[in-house]
Structure 1
Amino acid sequence: MDSWVRIGAGDVSVALDPTIGNIRTFSIAGREILHTAHWVGTDAAQSLEAPVDEHLAGDFFCAPFGASGVADVPPHGWTANSEWTPVLRAQNDDMAVLKLALNSTVFGARITKELRVIAGHSVLYQTHVITGGQGALTFAHHPMLHLLAGGHIGFSAKKAAMTPSSPLEESHRFAYPARGADLSKFPSADGGHVDLHHYPSDTGHEDFITLVEADDAQFGWTAVTRYAEDDIVLFVKDPRVMPLTMMWQSNGGRDYAPWNGRHTGVLGIEDGCCAGLTTLEGASGDNPIAREGVVTTLVLRPDLHTQVRHAIAVVPRPAGWSGVAQVFQSKTGFKLRSEGGNELEVAFDLGFFDL
């Protein structure tokens, strides 16, 4: 813990572990927002092969995403498993910035990370810059939340939801493989349908699904209304760079160590550019997600400079608020509209996405 680098502004604070590039904590007024697996910091963590799993917490940048299929590349890549060097840490009463550079290269590409927090904004702004390199690369963010008693998940418009060819575990709720355009009626394992907007409070399943952004999206968003935690967590992305949102529901479906059926109520909202759980080779060629009309890899070039912008905003849940139906731009940031028609303002720097 002594190696963590911390920044803060207003009531927002962030701590990053530079040994693996993982955002370990993101808190608002002392209340932690992101999830930490129960085995982190215990002897049980030693049974896991990759540092990213041993320290499974918060958010981390994956490049490549998932199991790459490339020899000697760990799950979620060196960006989530190796050292970053802080190159700038600046802070005043209004704003704090932390910049880091990945010590190793990824297929020849150099990657930098910038975290920014602004007083009066309950937001974590992140920018990763991928420069140079050669070949194809997949990437994604990997923030995780804990929902003690379930919740509602709102999405920007999607043209398809798709599960992989096979489930992660024997215990699952979704059908595999399956495709659906109606997120409220996605095919389920029992032959019926499941509402993707609903995170269930019952446990005993592990699921993964990829959502493909609509073609005309100006910005992509996912809004998680957590019932027990009494907040709304909004994830915002640039859909031109990250056309997919992958949703990982880890809800007690793994009974082996160190999971032991205890990893429950966990939701990963993983925005990225990839082909779901497909390896890098599969994402580089023909695949079901690419057939939806989106790119599934970033083709690296020595002269290419790609900015990956992502933000996480948090607001208290108003009384009676059941879920987010729509997100709009406003003069001061974003406006959330509930399923019942109520509205809520979220302070946000729209210049971050050039909106």
Structure 2
Amino acid sequence: MNDTNRTAEGVERPETAARRAWHLAWDFGSAEVQALGGMLGPVSLRLDDERELDIMHVAPWASTTGAASLPGLLRRMRGEWPCVPFGRTDDPGPLPPGWQRAHAGDDGWMHGYAANHRWSCVSATPHRVHLAIDYPADSAIARIERVIAVDPRAAALDISLSIVSRRPSRLPLGLHPTFRIPATPGRVQVVLGEHAGIHSYPTAAPGAVSRLLPDMRSRALSAMAGVDGALDLSQLPLTMPTEELMQVRALAAAGKAPPFALRYLDYDACVGLWWDTVQLPDLMLWISNGGRINFPWMSRHLAIGAEPVNSLFDLGRVARAPAGHPLADRLGVALHPEAPWRTRYRIAAWPNATPPTR
């Protein structure tokens, strides 16, 4: 971008809002934020003078010719983005006894309008990007804004989200950080804080292989209830293809440790995710391990989504759990036009020998 696109203070002018991506760069890393979906990624964080770690996932089909026909969410899928409202809008298929289908409402976009359309730039510098998107006039949501800012003292990004409503509503909400998983089996460890159990998805994902028993509660990611016995999902990637969706209930952090972290063994480093666990009490885990066979996945997709939510899996818009189900009360966030709903979260990397910072 040439200097005529910035003010004297270095802030990007509003008329440059149509550009496709904005770049962040500081002593501890670099990152890209694209207009489509407002998605963050790729992100490279500097661990020390000799090591950098690419942490955010970029779909292998992104920018290919075949991707042009995909929905906006998938076309250049990468990294992290907000889901307002969170979840799917299609038919979930057969559900367990006691579960009920629900009407998806007036928004037919999977993971919300914002995840499938281009955002506008309010302002941008090499250290901070402020994006916004207006929703259709018939939506309960009027506008969403998000700010992605570097931490000038650390290998970390601080992100804020603001939702402005037209009318009162309660919607399932979530964030969608998706992290890179290298190809070598077992070289990434998933670390969770204290929680009240991990629930497997209640139905089968179309075109996907799952190895978990549906609608089951397990005590630990290392001992999930699988169709062939206990399945360890705490070390990734796995040696066999699978596609798993789980919800970690009431996840909490201890001290400065994040509620969710990945330990990259080949880099002797960790990546952590902090968020407000009162606003978004659960974490939906999406382990994509070559288990989706249809285009564009083609059994080649490796990633882990760590998605803070107030939602019933990604089913809050299309299904209801039985009254006694442990996730039946995950009905979403109450939104009001009188005051925007706001949240903040943080993504950071650090060498194993160094404690994490918030």
For normalisation by structure 1, the TM-score amounts to: 0.80
Task: Identify the residue that residue 40 of structure 1 maps to in structure 2.
Answer: 62
**1:21 match:** 38
C-alpha change, 1:286 and 1:44, in structure 2 (3 Å) is: farther
After superposition, the C-alpha distances for 1:298-326 in whole angstroms (9 at most, x for unaligned) are 122221332121211112345xxxxxxxx
- Distance in 2 (CA, whole Å) between partners of 1:215 and 1:223 is 12
Aligned with 1:260 (options 298, 303, 324): 298
Instruction: Name the residue aligned to 2:161.
Output: 128
CA distance in 1, matches of 2:317, 2:250: 21
Q: In structure 1, what is the equivalent of residue 92 of structure 2? A: none
The equivalences for 1:157-236 within 5 A come to 157-168=194-205, 169-190=207-228, 192-214=229-251, 221-236=259-274
**Shift of residue 242, structure 1, vs aligned partner:** 0.8
Letter in 1 for 2:274: V
Kept in 2, the 8 Å contact 1:245–1:270? The answer is yes
Q: Give the secondary structure class of the aligned counterpart of 1:347.
A: coil
SS at the partner of 1:213? coil
Corresponding residue to 2:129 among 98, 102, 114: 98
Could you say which residue in structure 1 is the equivalent of 2:316? 279
Structure 1 residues 281, 167: closer, same or farther in 2, change over 3 A?
closer
Asked if 1 retains the 8 angstrom alpha-carbon contact of 2:245 and 2:287, the reply is: yes
Please give the alpha-carbon distance, in whole angstroms, between the structure 1 residues aligned to 2:338 and 2:320: 22
Taking the aligned partners of 1:19 and 1:231, their CA distance within structure 2 comes to 30
Please state which structure has a larger fraction of its residues in strand. 1
Change (3 A) 1:72 1:271: closer
What is the rounded CA distance, in whole Å, between the counterparts of 1:281 and 1:250 in structure 2? 22
**Whole-angstrom CA distance in 2 between matches of 1:259 and 1:249:** 13
Q: Matches of 1:224 and 1:202 in 2, distance apart? A: 18
2:178 to 136, 144, 147: 144
Distance 1:126 1:243, change over 3 A: same
Deviation at 1:122, TM superposition (A): 0.7
Q: Which runs of 5+ in 1 are unaligned?
A: 319-343, 349-355
Instruction: Name the residue aligned to 1:335.
Output: none
Aligned partners of 1:283 and 1:297 also within 8 Å: no
- Which residue of structure 2 aligns with residue 347 of structure 1? 357
Moved over 6 A (4+): 215-219
- Tell me the equivalent position of 2:148: 115
**1:205 shift after superposition:** 0.8
- Could you say what the CA RMSD is over the residues aligned between the two structures, in angstroms? 2.6
User: What secondary structure does 1:80 align onto?
Assistant: helix
Is 1:301 aligned with 2:351?
no
* Maintained 8 Å contact 1:166/1:176: yes
Q: 286, 293, 313: which one pairs with 1:248? A: 286
1:75 has 2:85 as partner: no
Following superposition of structure 1 onto structure 2, how do residues 305-324 of structure 1 map, counting pairs within 5 Å?
A: 305-317=340-352
Residue 41 of structure 1, CA deviation: 0.7
Please tell me whether the aligned partners of residues 251 and 259 of structure 2 are also in contact (alpha carbons under 8 angstroms).
Answer: no
Asked whether the 8 Å contact 2:193–2:252 carries over to 1, the reply is no
SS at 1:239's partner residue? coil
Q: Is the 8 A contact 2:269 2:352 kept in 1?
A: yes
Q: Answer with 276-285 or 69-78: which moved more.
A: 276-285
Letter of the 2:147 partner, please give it: E
8 Å Cα contact 1:275-1:289 kept in structure 2: no
- Does the C-alpha gap of structure 1 residues 165 and 31 become closer, same or farther in structure 2, counting only changes over 3 Å? closer
Aligned equivalents of 2:84, 2:323: Cα separation in 1: 20
TM value normalised by structure 2: 0.79
Higher relative contact order (CA 8 A, sep 6+): 2
CA displacement at 1:222 relative to structure 2? 0.5
Mapping of residues 329-344 of structure 1, within 5 Å: 344=354
Which secondary structure does the structure 2 equivalent of 1:166 belong to?
Answer: coil
Q: Which secondary structure does the structure 2 equivalent of 1:79 belong to? A: helix
1:109 is displaced (CA, Å) by: 3.6
The alignment of Structure 1 onto Structure 2 pairs a total of residues equal to 314
Q: Among all aligned residue pairs of Structure 1 and Structure 2, give the percentage whose two residues are the same amino acid.
A: 22
- Distance in 2 between the 1:199 and 1:206 partners? 12
